[in-house]
């Protein structure tokens, strides 16, 4: 992988660099921004914010509840004890099992969505360990022929430390 | 936060991971030795049978079930406190949350061991699990013990994930700061974390969902533990107040456990710049509130029983008020109510030392409370022929006592491999808000500070800028 990137000491400089890259014709999906903390105070921190995670978590909860109903029904009707005319499958005491598995379903769905949505797992994408020291990385992976323009855009912001791999 | 401050935070919080002193090995050897002793005691119990314990008719639940309820209660420290503070976006939570979440996970593990320790034939523990046996006999899904199984496992799974997810960015920091085998291990744990805006958003959304989900689960867990008692026709047990009473007690003991853990971490890991007096004062106020709530529940429970004057209940009632168990009962009242009320209610005593003393008292008092719920009632059920007493034996003292050593050991080992304060959360915060709590972040004080600035559009701007610039301790 080839990449051109710069490290910035603060969010303002990084925001400036991203604005310059956009002005140079790059789309947001072509720009890599890495930081050691959420950049909620800057516009760059709002990139790629939309997520279906709440809905998927709700779906996971529904799935968990369905599994709980099935489990409770199966186990109670598999051994149909004479309950004196009362229903063999009892809702009230099964509600607790249903509640717990509903929540478990929502939790597992959330974590799965996080792992998939955030692209967790082994990766060979652009990274610099100095990000852990608080620097903010702004760069472009596999830059095309506009290398000179990109370098100019990245170096325009104050405190830029240009690197190339 | 400036770059130098970030680097200092990294350095301070990674120090325990990257450097090991002889004290660490000494602590591990000491607490590990106690845990091994307890393991030997438990194995002797499995070999010789329950005859070597004090558990016999009519009291089949003694120290072990007391410890089970106690540790499940302690587990409410982390997730509840952390989830609530996350949801209300309390700035002072940042150094506290992980310390608390760790307690949850380890206390749950210890608590969940007790149903197995309490079995005469622990190798048959799998009979509790809902599996389809060849005889088509399933565990009774209407039993509170099966509810326990589901509730505790859901809570444990949720709590482990709730603890693990915010650790991922911190593992990435350790990955970047370490070399060799350690680097490879943390690289795996960091799961390829880079810190893109997308990853941060997904993580924060996941944590918000987890906080919303884990809160009712935490409440349900201790309510269900209370059902182990209140669903049984035993005097003083079958009461509708037990659910909220147990939950309140659990949060109460959980906060106390958290205060003690934080004080120990502060002292031994030199985290005074991060775990500041204001954190203890805030938790002290919560402890005071929970103490009052606990007192309210006890008053309700006792007054209603006394007024009802039902003979079987009164037999248990007087056991605790003025007969065999009265010394333990009044010790409990002093530890859970009088001590926190005095130490946390009077401002000058609400110091770190005061908070720790009150918390130790609460831990003792809450353990006694669990004991006093279980033993006097089982020993005085309805007819005098079934009355009996309980004399715990050495094996029970060793096993129950060693759980505190097990908790400490796990905490020490955890603090050795994971930053005990969330590094990235410490760096986070609205502009102008200090990354680490200062005196102005006291409970009930922050709003007043912000209101003074009179900036209705952005309260964060009202924060004194120096606190943001000057690093961990606003100087």
Is B141 in CB contact (< 8 Å) with chain A? yes
DSSP-assigned letter for residue B192: T
Residue B160, helix vs strand vs coil: helix
- The reported pLDDT for the residue numbered B78 is 78
ipTM of the complex: 0.94
B328 or B457: which leads in pLDDT: B328
Suggest the residue from A134, A138, A159, A160 to mutate for an interface test with chain B (most B CBs closer than 10 A): A134
d(C-alpha B439, C-alpha B462), whole Å:
15
Conformation bin of residue B262: beta by default, left when phi > 0, alpha when psi is -120 to 50: alpha
For B383, other C-beta atoms within 10 Å of its C-beta total 8
For residue A107, pLDDT over 90 is answered with: yes
Contacts of A37 in chain B (CB under 8 A): 195, 200, 424, 427-428
Please name the residue of chain B whose CA is at the shortest distance from the CA of residue A108: B158
Are A40 and B428 a contacting pair at CB < 8 A?
yes
Strand extents, DSSP E, B204-281: none
Average pLDDT, stretch B205-233? 93
Instruction: Return phi, psi of residue A149, to 5°.
Output: -60, -40
Contacts of A36 in chain B (CB under 8 A): 6, 169, 173, 195, 424, 427
Conformation bin of residue B136: beta by default, left when phi > 0, alpha when psi is -120 to 50: left
Are B157 and A104 a contacting pair at CB < 8 A?
yes
pLDDT tens readout for residues B301-340: 999 999 999 999 999 999 999 999 999 999 999 999 999 9
Across the A:B interface, residue pairs with CB atoms under 8 Å apart total 172
- The reported pLDDT for the residue numbered A48 is 84
Contacts of B197 in chain A (CB under 8 A): 33, 35, 38-39, 44-49
Q: Which residues share a beta bridge with A164?
A: A4
Is A44 in CB contact (< 8 Å) with chain B? yes
Please name the residue of chain A whose CA is at the shortest distance from the CA of residue B174: A132
For residue B33, pLDDT over 60 is answered with: yes
For residue B37, pLDDT over 90 is answered with: yes
Average pLDDT, stretch A8-24? 92
Are B141 and A51 a contacting pair at CB < 8 A?
no
Q: What share of residues in chain A are helix, strand, coil (percent, to 5)?
A: 55, 10, 35
What is the C-alpha end-to-end distance of chain A, expressed in Å?
8
Is B192 in CB contact (< 8 Å) with chain A? yes
Distance (Å) from the C-alpha of residue B65 to the closest C-alpha of chain A?
22
d(C-alpha B469, C-alpha B464), whole Å:
10
d(C-alpha B391, C-alpha B62), whole Å:
9
Distance (Å) from the C-alpha of residue B201 to the closest C-alpha of chain A?
6
pLDDT tens readout for residues A109-129: 999 999 999 989 887 889 999
Are A49 and B6 a contacting pair at CB < 8 A?
no
Please name the residue of chain A whose CA is at the shortest distance from the CA of residue B173: A132
- The reported pLDDT for the residue numbered B448 is 38
- The reported pLDDT for the residue numbered B133 is 61
**Which among B137, B192, B198 is the nearest to A121, CB-wise?**
B192
The answer for residues whose C-beta is within 8 angstroms of residue B230's C-beta and 6 or more apart is: B237, B238, B239, B240, B242, B243
pLDDT tens readout for residues A46-89: 888 889 999 999 999 999 999 999 988 887 787 766 777 777 78
pLDDT tens readout for residues B434-447: 444 444 455 555 44
Is A148 in CB contact (< 8 Å) with chain B? no
Please name the residue of chain A whose CA is at the shortest distance from the CA of residue B460: A41
d(C-alpha B401, C-alpha B63), whole Å:
10
d(C-alpha A56, C-alpha B442), whole Å:
37
d(C-alpha A127, C-alpha B254), whole Å:
40
- Locus of tokens 């991203």: A18
pTM attached to this predicted model: 0.88
Contacts of B2 in chain A (CB under 8 A): 134
Alpha-helical regions (H) of chain A: 11-23, 53-77, 91-117, 147-156
Looking at every residue in chain B, the average pLDDT score rounds to 87
Are B3 and A9 in contact by the 8 Å Cβ rule? The answer is: yes
DSSP-assigned letter for residue B233: -
Is A32 in CB contact (< 8 Å) with chain B? yes
Angle, CA of B381, B387 and B390, to the nearest 5°: 105
d(C-alpha B289, C-alpha A159), whole Å:
50
Is A51 in CB contact (< 8 Å) with chain B? yes
pLDDT tens readout for residues B182-197: 999 999 999 999 999 9
- Calculate what percentage of chain B has a pLDDT beyond 90: 71
Is A75 in CB contact (< 8 Å) with chain B? yes
d(C-alpha B253, C-alpha B307), whole Å:
29
- The reported pLDDT for the residue numbered B134 is 62
Are A54 and B209 a contacting pair at CB < 8 A?
yes
- The reported pLDDT for the residue numbered B441 is 52
Suggest the residue from A103, A119, A127, A133 to mutate for an interface test with chain B (most B CBs closer than 10 A): A103
The answer for residues whose C-beta is within 8 angstroms of residue B450's C-beta and 6 or more apart is: B459, B462, B463
Are A107 and B216 a contacting pair at CB < 8 A?
no
User: Cis peptide before B58, with omega less than 30 degrees from 0?
Assistant: yes
pLDDT tens readout for residues B378-400: 999 988 898 999 999 999 999 99
d(C-alpha B202, C-alpha A38), whole Å:
11
pLDDT tens readout for residues B260-295: 999 999 998 889 989 999 999 999 999 999 999 999
- The H or E element that residue B167 is part of is none
Are A100 and B195 a contacting pair at CB < 8 A?
no
d(C-alpha B194, C-alpha B197), whole Å:
9
**Which among B198, B220, B427 is the nearest to A100, CB-wise?**
B220
Average pLDDT, stretch B3-18? 88
For residue B474, pLDDT over 70 is answered with: no
DSSP-assigned letter for residue A5: E
Burial classification of residue B328, based on how many CB atoms lie within 10 Å of its CB (0-12 exposed, 13-18 middle, 19 or more buried): middle
């Amino acid at each position: 992988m080839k990449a051109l990137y710069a490290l910035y000491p603060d969010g303002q400089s990084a925001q400036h660099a991203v604005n310059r890259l956009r002005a140079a014709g790059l789309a947001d999906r072509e720009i890599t921004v890495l930081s050691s903390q959420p950049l909620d105070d800057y516009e760059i921190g709002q990139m790629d914010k939309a997520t279906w995670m709440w809905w998927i978590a709700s779906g996971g909860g529904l799935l968990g509840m369905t599994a709980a109903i099935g489990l409770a029904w199966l186990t109670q009707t598999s051994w149909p004890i004479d309950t004196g005319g009362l229903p063999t499958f009892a809702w009230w005491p099964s509600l607790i099992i249903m509640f717990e598995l509903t929540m478990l379903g929502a939790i597992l769905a959330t974590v799965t969505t996080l792992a998939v949505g955030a692209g967790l797992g082994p990766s060979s994408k652009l990274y610099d360990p100095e990000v852990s020291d608080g620097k903010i990385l702004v760069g472009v992976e596999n830059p095309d022929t506009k290398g000179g323009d990109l370098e100019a855009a990245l170096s325009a912001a104050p405190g830029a430390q240009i690197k190339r791999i | 936060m400036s770059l130098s401050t970030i680097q200092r935070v990294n350095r301070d919080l990674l120090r325990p991971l990257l450097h090991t002193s002889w004290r660490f090995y000494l602590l591990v050897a000491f607490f590990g030795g106690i845990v091994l002793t307890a393991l030997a005691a438990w194995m002797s119990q499995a070999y010789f049978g329950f005859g070597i314990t004090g558990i016999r008719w009519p009291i089949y639940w003694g120290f072990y079930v007391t410890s089970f309820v106690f540790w499940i209660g302690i587990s409410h420290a982390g997730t509840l406190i952390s989830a609530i503070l996350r949801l209300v976006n309390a700035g002072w939570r940042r150094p506290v949350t992980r310390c608390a979440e760790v307690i949850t996970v380890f206390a749950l593990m210890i608590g969940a061991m007790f149903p197995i320790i309490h079995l005469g034939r622990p190798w048959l523990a799998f009979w509790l699990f809902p599996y389809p046996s060849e005889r088509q006999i399933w565990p009774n899904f209407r039993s509170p013990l099966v509810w326990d199984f589901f509730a505790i496992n859901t809570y444990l799974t949720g709590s482990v994930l709730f603890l693990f997810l915010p650790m991922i960015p911190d593992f990435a920091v350790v990955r970047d700061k370490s070399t060799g085998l350690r680097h490879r291990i943390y690289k795996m744990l960091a799961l390829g974390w880079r810190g893109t805006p997308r990853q941060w958003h997904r993580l924060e959304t996941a944590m918000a969902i987890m906080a919303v989900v884990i809160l009712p689960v935490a409440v349900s867990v201790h309510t269900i533990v209370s059902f182990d008692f209140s669903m049984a026709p035993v005097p003083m047990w079958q009461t509708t107040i037990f659910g909220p009473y147990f939950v309140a007690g659990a949060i109460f003991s959980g906060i106390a456990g958290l205060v003690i853990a934080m004080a120990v971490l502060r002292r031994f890991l030199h985290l005074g710049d991060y775990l500041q007096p204001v954190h203890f004062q805030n938790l002290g106020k919560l402890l005071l509130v929970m103490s009052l709530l606990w007192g309210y529940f006890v008053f309700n429970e006792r007054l209603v029983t006394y007024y009802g004057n039902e003979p079987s209940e009164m037999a248990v009632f007087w056991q605790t008020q003025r007969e065999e168990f009265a010394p333990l009962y009044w010790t409990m009242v002093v530890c859970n109510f009088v001590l926190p009320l005095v130490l946390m209610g009077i401002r000058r005593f609400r110091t770190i030392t005061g908070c720790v003393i009150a918390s130790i008292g609460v831990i003792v008092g809450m353990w006694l409370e669990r004991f006093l719920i279980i033993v006097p009632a089982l020993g005085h059920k309805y007819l005098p022929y079934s009355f009996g007493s309980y004399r715990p034996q050495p094996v029970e003292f060793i096993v129950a006592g060693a759980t505190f050593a097990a908790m400490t050991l796990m905490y020490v080992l955890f603090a050795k491999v994971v930053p005990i304060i969330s590094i990235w959360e410490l760096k986070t915060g609205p502009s102008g808000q200090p990354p680490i709590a200062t005196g102005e972040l006291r409970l009930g004080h922050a709003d007043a500070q912000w209101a003074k600035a009179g900036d209705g559009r952005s309260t964060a701007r009202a924060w004194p800028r120096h606190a943001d610039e000057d690093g961990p301790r606003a100087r």
